[in-house]
Structure 1
């Protein structure tokens, strides 16, 4: 009969215990609802808000209160979670940093971006879809992106945004001028220092009510998915699942489309520029 030393028996027992305890520890560490539980325990959903980004974000100068269709969507998510909204003023270009520093819990209306994708999880089902447009000086519309792709052309974009990515990809010969926000971009156009400003078409259309410029939807038409994003961290699987189901319901029942149509109609936005059959 083969004999075993006390030392070997203890070593074997230790290995067996570690094999038994490893799955339990892994399960304990990987709680898919951890992020949802954290948000609920805090009592607030920290959301980004941006000045000059109407009608998605609208700030009442008298009260400081926020509204707009993005803020309304975020309010619905907060209600579903049983918490209140906590607005955090920021810019599109700062969203990745805001996620990394835990300043925000969610972003809405963002475009998938590989660089941000290193630290941010995007939901693949967009809340809605629009397209990239160009706001040009009055009387100077463009039919194609190629018309702006020349060394003598200056195109303004918001710094760090997907608009900058689009312009740099399609207009490598043009001078691309990044600015911090929409207001500065419009100032460049009004001052005659820009031949165009890249915007999402719905943003560009609502700006035309100020008689600042003319909206062009250049060929080829580039679709612009407006998605939701959350910080990549352990325990956000349940949060992503919840948000995915919320988006599916908003789209399948026409709730998202109805809210957007009402928001644009309220601001006198003319959607006739959109091609026939364009679905957002």
Structure 2
């Protein structure tokens, strides 16, 4: 082997040793991910167009608000960093984690496929329920009412709504679209009989565009959890987030913030079943 070949080989081996050493350090240091976030000065958070009131974009300034953004800003403040919004969709979250575009996701449902690359917190931040929006005057009492070939149900691609529909409505015709706005358009155009969303989202949509809100039986609860990328050194990060979630729930902070958010937007929560609590 030539002199230069030996140098290149040595450099390659050295780089490999360095990477291995960094990985070992991260595995030994449970706070490695926390240290990385703090050193970067930012917490990269997902934000989504058309997902009010959780994510609200000001068209004039491009600034983001909403209760999910409020929660994540609180976390960033405790870490001593700023929030950096990253526009995405629910279906792209796993890929965003793998490509290091985001540091956290909020309001997500545990998903075995995403669970291959994502760590979910076991304690949900809050719990809502799956609901449907139908044309005015056409409420739905049970999921079985939609489970016929004559019914067309619209859901968002790669979302938990799609999983719910495929499980409970195998006989229905499913229309899969990229985002919430397209789902609303399908319903408004008369090309769908119902769209599936979490009940809090459905209430927001109904306030804006009209329609009938139903929480069909059997009521399906919808845990809204936090998730982080699975990587060496994230144990301390998960511990920090778990303690934050438990404080938010046990002191009523999460429930209070959510109720105020909906109240501020004129959303009536009286549609919620008597046996439901978030």
Equivalent residue, structure 1, for 2:56: 58
Cα distance in 2 for partners of 1:272, 1:77 equals 30
Deviates further, 25-34 or 261-270: 25-34
Using a 3 Å threshold, how does the CA distance of structure 1 residues 83 and 137 change in structure 2: closer, same or farther?
A: same
Quote the RMSD (CA, aligned, Å).
1.2
8 Å CA contact retained: 1:190, 1:212 = no
Which residue in 2 is equivalent to 1:105? 103
| Cα distance change on mapping 1:233 and 1:28 into 2, 3 Å | closer
Which residue in the other structure is 1:71 paired with? 69
Q: Could you tell me which residue of structure 2 aligns to residue 192 of structure 1?
A: 190
- CA separation in 1, counterparts of 2:208 and 2:31? 46
Q: How big is the shift at 1:171? A: 0.2
Aligned position for 2:42: 44
SS for the counterpart of 1:226 is strand
- 1:244 partnered with 2:242: yes
Partners of 2:31 and 2:119 in 1: how far apart?
16
Is contact 1:88-1:103 (8 Å) kept? yes
Question: What is the distance in 2 between the residues matched to 1:180 and 1:218?
Answer: 24
Could you list the structure 1 runs, at least 4 aligned residues long, displaced by more than 3 angstroms after superposition: 25-29
Instruction: Please identify the structure whose Cα radius of gyration is greater.
Output: 1
Q: For structure 1, which runs of at least 5 residues remain unmatched after alignment?
A: 1-24
Q: Give the alignment's TM-score, normalised by structure 2.
A: 0.90
Q: How far off is 1:29 after superposition?
A: 3.9
The number of residue pairs the alignment matches comes to 256
Which one of 218, 231, 235 corresponds to residue 233 of structure 1? 231
How far residue 211 of structure 1 moved from its aligned partner, in angstroms, is: 3.5
> In 1, distance between residues paired with 2:264 and 2:112?
35
**Matched residue SS, 1:64:** coil
| 2:167 equivalent in structure 1 | 169
The residue that corresponds to 1:178 in the other structure is 176
Who is 1:15 aligned against?
A: none
Aligned twin of 2:124: 126
Long gaps (5+) in structure 2: 1-22
TM-score where L is the length of structure 1: 0.90
Whether contact under 8 Å (2:108, 2:224) holds in the other structure is yes
Deviation at 1:125, TM superposition (A): 0.3
Does the 8 Å contact 1:52/1:58 carry over to 2?
yes
